[in-house]
Structure 1
Amino acid sequence: MSAEDKDSLKRVDQEPVTSVLAPNEIPVIDGAHDSDDDVLAALGYKPEFKREFSLWTTFCVSFAVLGLLPSVASTLYYGLGYAGTPGMVWGWLIAMAFIQCIAMGMAELCSAMPTSGGLYYASAVLAPPKYGPFAAWVTGWSNWLGQVTAAPSVDYSLASMILAAVSINKPDYVPQNYQVFLLTVLLMVVHAVISSMPTRWVAQFNSVGSTFNIVALIVVFIVILAADNRTSQGMPRFNSSASVWGDFYAGTDFPKGVSILMSFIAVIWTMSGYDSPFHLSEECSNANIASPRAIVMTSGIGGAVGWALNMAIAYTIVDIDAALNDESGQPFAAYLLQILGDKATMACLSLTIIAAFSMGQGCMVAASRVTFSYSRDGCLPLSRYWANVNTLTKTPVNAVWLNCAVGCLSVLLIFAGDVAIGAIFSIGAIGAFVAFTIPITIRTFFVASRFRPGPWNLGKYSYANGILSTIFTLLMIPILCLPTVTGSDLDAEGMNWTIVCWGGPMLLAIIWFFVDAHKWFKGPKVNIAHMIHDVQAEPYVIQAQEAGELDSSQPIVPAKKDSLSAV
């Protein structure tokens, strides 16, 4: 090791991170490295990806995952069907206020811990030592369930929209479940192929896709407001504000307030993609600043634009019942037909379909990074296979195809009915937001001064922000599990299967932890060589390393002051 390399060695507490390593430990990086690599090393990981994402391309991936136009189209059934237009307008505003709190809390964690493990790593580091592994385990599994169901839920909606477009041109055609399933599987496979490509290609694809998403959203928004034919149907150009903001739709058996809360599933699912920059932080340059900025940008811009689109739909929709109960199974397509001609409807639907394709691919990329990072630490069965980085593409190809297989299996819920397949949307919502909030809650109530903020932080507002985030998630967990009907009307077909599809795997994961995993799972696994900082011992450690006496792939045991070598 040269004198220059020795001088470049930094203790963990010299980097703006909150790490699983002790403050006085020194990570040792082999070969050339930059400041981003130094930050990652201080977290205990050696660089494994090329940093080819910038703030813009990272934002593009997360905005593509957000996919506002296809997301609103996919979840119109929930936003409109539970509470009507009030759930879409002021319900969206209430939900977004709390979601922005969660996004800012996450951004603060990302700045201090910019690693693809993200939320899971944060829970492990911030929780009291005795509970760190369990907190990481619960966070990781909940986040993984949310991530792995994101792409199939998007592709299921995409397949439904494609077949709905066919039914517009062929009125006698009614899509069958097996056709929707097969088309969804095909889309999943295509997205997996794209996500297995080199990082630069994936980044470029998502950049183009995100740009198209923005353009398509603007075009559809303008068409809805400027080209609707309501006046030719003998109606005013727009619905009255009194009806839009005050006329509730009786879509559930619950009181209006609860129905509004239930409609939040549309907002939560739509806005669940802003964690993507966290998971891509090991592939982003200037990660501890660019990644948290991308998180806040995605949530803030996405929330404002999504609300505007919801407002446009609420002020122009003609018949809520007809849209929700259309034979095509796609309320958004039925809504467009209510206010536009066939050609304009097909144009808007085509733009939405292309945007949804980009969104599904972004979901697949983000989910693969989560699977890779959790497998790197042994969280998943057969982790050694899913943690492999392909030598040719430098991407976690095995993780991509695992997610593809699990996603295809989850779409089998379509054969259990409309309510059952709807569970993949609520799994994504509840799974993601539980994982989002666990480390924020730990940071707020149990960490105090042990948290070392990164360069992007909330300062004195962090505590209040954490309280609001925790309250919102605790409220929404039971709400997202409520069925739309009650009493004697509730049967297996009308049951909300979220508690089974999310709660079941989570219960099994917790049982696995207490029965077996607690014996070997200790949280994030450090994979970089490191040593304990000691003024007298440090030179001897470095000398021994230069002489080839140390295996740099293994952690270095601290040397004693009177020792001339490291064990």
Structure 2
Amino acid sequence: MDEHKPPIIQTTTGQKDIFNEPVTSILKPNDIPLAPSSASWTSDDEVLASLGYKPEFKREFTLWTTFSVSFAVLGLLPSFASTLYYGMGYAGTAGMTWGWLIAMVGIQSVAASMAEICSSMPTSGGLYYASAVLAPPGWGPLAAWLTGWSNWMSQVTGAPSVNYGTAAMILAAASIQNPEYVPQNYQVFFVTVLLMLVHATMASLPTKRIAQVNSTGSTFNMIALVIVIILIPAGTNRVSQGLPRFTPSSEVWGTIYPGTEFPAGVGVLMSFVSVIWTMSGYDAPFHLSEECSNASIASPRAIFLTSAIGGTFGWVLQLVVAYTVVDIPAVLSSDLGQPFAAYLIQCLPQQTVMAILSLTIIAGFAMGQGCMVAASRVTFAYARDGCFPFSEYWSRVNKHTKTPVNAVWYNCTIGICLVLLIFGGTITIGALFSIGAIAAFVAFTIPIFIRVFFVGDRFRPGPWNLGRFSIYIGSIACAFVALMVPILCLPSVTGRNLSPSLMNWTVLVYGAPMAFVVVWWAVSARKWFKGPKVNVEHMMLDRLEAIEGQEVLRPGEMEEVQKV
């Protein structure tokens, strides 16, 4: 190949200039990856090769099925039901109405900025890969290390927290049918473990089957959400209790329930844990991008749509509950052990309550399965780069299903261990939710922060981008997360009233592992962990960090090649 000609890739339609790819390539002419002699690369394979990875999955996800997985992971109805204790308990209906709107400004900013980065580098490594690429010279491995571990913690806690909420609803439904039955912690534990095992089995299926299952589950989630939004206001029996059909708007929007000992404004911010945890599943399309066709456009669209549609429908559901709840303290202290079930009993006939709980339980089952799938792809991507002990096992792709089965069961085992927090009480198991919220948004924001404050206008966007608003939206995202991380670590009580059972253990359960990760980096990992193990370096910033033993383009040379 003439070294003065633009780099060429062999594609299904012939030869193609690699610089026409929707991502930036730094490949020299003699380093162009060629498809195996038995097959040519598709356009998606070319993009992945430009980022330094060989194709390992079947691309059987579309925009719809990718959106279906992320919407299933979002799981608005079961997510809302699982976190009602925090959304309603910290600030009452005010946090559920205008509080949700305020939170969504920050959340949608994070989602939009993440989607822009996804379009530029659609890999399973996702945020972890982006942090390594965008970080200043010499800081890439550390940025990837911190992002990867924080993101993995959010992913590995996703399925157990969702399944815990679903298990609690199943037993609450049994308690409603038989008032003499009071759910016990060990029973919730065993039902949760059963759900984990079933979901791990389902997540080990071939990609096509997983896509079909999640498409069905996501469709059911949407239908169930609409049914519940209509059914609650239509079927409420508040009038028969001598109450107005709906609580007056002045009370719903203007009264802040004193659920914490902090000032009212801080209580509203603390209630955002419900919004943040509910809306933390939209990164799934990023991790599925190596299995998605037209990933540079379909994956970011799925991210943005999941957050936008989920945020809108979530707010409507919040309004419905805020206008129909009868007694907030009774909801929070019910013996049922599930605030959503206690709320339904207050304002609906028993048959309607059971119908809604059934819909929510099925939707929660679909959500847990989606979480298991997304988490396995993250674990696979990080194990591929040697982040975990025994990574060679967790990074294997099953030769029959073409999916990372070992990673699925690795996550399942860890998730079951985390479910043991149930025996510490409601507050302790609640740490799973705040850990998921904090860990996810810290990981979401690290590459956004680097892109906004260190890369700036030198960022090379993909085909889906925010244009001139990119920096402004990214700044809002960073400010929102910087505010919320310490807020989500606050306990609901202070002073003499603070006891171990009422302590917010998030700072310990998230902070201790992350502190260990930092120490591990300082002592050992910095010597051997070099970030994503790609075939070639990815130049987003017109600069290069050479790979050992490999000749690469120098700054300015790429432009000269492109001019030819």
The TM-score by the shorter chain falls in which range? over 0.9
Q: Is the 8 A contact 2:28 2:552 kept in 1?
A: no
Q: Is the 8 A contact 1:43 1:113 kept in 2?
A: yes
Quick one: structure 1 residues 4 and 355, their matched pair in 2 at CA, closer, same or farther if it must change by over 3 Å? closer
Q: Offset of 1:29 from its aligned partner?
A: 3.0
- In 2, the alpha carbon distance for the partners of 1:395 and 1:58 equals 16
- In 1, the alpha carbon distance for the partners of 2:44 and 2:402 equals 18
Report what 1:161 is aligned to: 169
Which 5+ residue runs of structure 2 have no aligned equivalent?
2-7, 539-546, 554-564
Report what 2:86 is aligned to: 78
Report what 2:10 is aligned to: 5
Q: Offset of 1:27 from its aligned partner?
A: 3.1
Tell me which of 394, 401, 413 is aligned to 1:393: 401
Say whether 1:402 aligns with 2:410: yes
Q: Is the 8 A contact 1:167 1:173 kept in 2?
A: yes
- In 1, the alpha carbon distance for the partners of 2:358 and 2:428 equals 27
- In 2, the alpha carbon distance for the partners of 1:455 and 1:435 equals 23
Report what 1:486 is aligned to: 494
Report what 2:361 is aligned to: 353
Say whether 1:98 aligns with 2:112: no
Quick one: structure 1 residues 167 and 23, their matched pair in 2 at CA, closer, same or farther if it must change by over 3 Å? farther
SS at match of 1:380: coil
SS at match of 2:218: helix
Quick one: structure 1 residues 32 and 487, their matched pair in 2 at CA, closer, same or farther if it must change by over 3 Å? same
Tell me which of 66, 71, 84 is aligned to 1:58: 66
Q: Offset of 1:491 from its aligned partner?
A: 1.4
Q: Is the 8 A contact 1:18 1:125 kept in 2?
A: no
- In 1, the alpha carbon distance for the partners of 2:318 and 2:489 equals 24
- In 1, the alpha carbon distance for the partners of 2:286 and 2:149 equals 16
Q: Offset of 1:527 from its aligned partner?
A: 4.5
SS at match of 2:32: strand
Q: Using structure 1 for the length normalisation, give the TM-score.
A: 0.92
Q: Offset of 1:367 from its aligned partner?
A: 0.3
Quick one: structure 1 residues 447 and 320, their matched pair in 2 at CA, closer, same or farther if it must change by over 3 Å? same
Q: Offset of 1:449 from its aligned partner?
A: 4.3
Tell me which of 133, 136, 151 is aligned to 1:143: 151
Say whether 1:429 aligns with 2:434: no
- In 2, the alpha carbon distance for the partners of 1:301 and 1:182 equals 34
Report what 1:330 is aligned to: 338
Report what 2:75 is aligned to: 67
Report what 2:32 is aligned to: 26
Say whether 1:513 aligns with 2:521: yes
1:194-233 aligned at under 5 Å gives the runs 194-233=202-241
| Root mean square deviation of aligned Cα | 1.9
Q: Using structure 2 for the length normalisation, give the TM-score.
A: 0.92
Q: Is the 8 A contact 1:45 1:527 kept in 2?
A: yes
SS at match of 1:5: strand
SS at match of 1:52: coil
Report what 2:381 is aligned to: 373
Q: Is the 8 A contact 1:284 1:291 kept in 2?
A: yes
SS at match of 1:84: helix
Report what 1:130 is aligned to: 138
- In 2, the alpha carbon distance for the partners of 1:152 and 1:253 equals 30
Report what 2:298 is aligned to: 290
Q: Offset of 1:32 from its aligned partner?
A: 1.5
- In 1, the alpha carbon distance for the partners of 2:131 and 2:452 equals 12
- In 2, the alpha carbon distance for the partners of 1:107 and 1:558 equals 32
- In 2, the alpha carbon distance for the partners of 1:503 and 1:413 equals 16
Q: Is the 8 A contact 1:46 1:528 kept in 2?
A: no
Q: Offset of 1:557 from its aligned partner?
A: 3.8
Tell me which of 239, 250, 254 is aligned to 1:246: 254
- In 1, the alpha carbon distance for the partners of 2:536 and 2:402 equals 19
Say whether 1:16 aligns with 2:22: yes
Quick one: structure 1 residues 253 and 529, their matched pair in 2 at CA, closer, same or farther if it must change by over 3 Å? closer
SS at match of 1:328: coil
- The share of aligned pairs that are identical, in percent, is 65
Q: Offset of 1:499 from its aligned partner?
A: 0.6
Amino acid at match of 1:526: V
- In 1, the alpha carbon distance for the partners of 2:552 and 2:426 equals 63
Q: Offset of 1:360 from its aligned partner?
A: 0.3
SS at match of 1:27: coil
Q: Offset of 1:416 from its aligned partner?
A: 1.1
Q: Offset of 1:160 from its aligned partner?
A: 0.2
- In 1, the alpha carbon distance for the partners of 2:339 and 2:9 equals 64
Q: Is the 8 A contact 2:456 2:471 kept in 1?
A: no
Amino acid at match of 1:508: F
Q: Offset of 1:452 from its aligned partner?
A: 1.3
SS at match of 1:138: helix
SS at match of 2:233: helix
- In 1, the alpha carbon distance for the partners of 2:63 and 2:398 equals 25
Say whether 1:177 aligns with 2:185: yes
Quick one: structure 1 residues 102 and 206, their matched pair in 2 at CA, closer, same or farther if it must change by over 3 Å? same
- In 1, the alpha carbon distance for the partners of 2:550 and 2:353 equals 67
Amino acid at match of 2:90: Y
- In 2, the alpha carbon distance for the partners of 1:150 and 1:559 equals 40
Q: Is the 8 A contact 2:150 2:443 kept in 1?
A: yes
Tell me which of 461, 467, 479 is aligned to 1:453: 461
- In 1, the alpha carbon distance for the partners of 2:103 and 2:189 equals 32
Quick one: structure 1 residues 131 and 101, their matched pair in 2 at CA, closer, same or farther if it must change by over 3 Å? same
Amino acid at match of 2:32: I
Report what 2:4 is aligned to: none
- In 2, the alpha carbon distance for the partners of 1:55 and 1:143 equals 23
Q: Offset of 1:555 from its aligned partner?
A: 9.8
SS at match of 1:8: strand
Which 5+ residue runs of structure 1 have no aligned equivalent?
531-553, 561-567
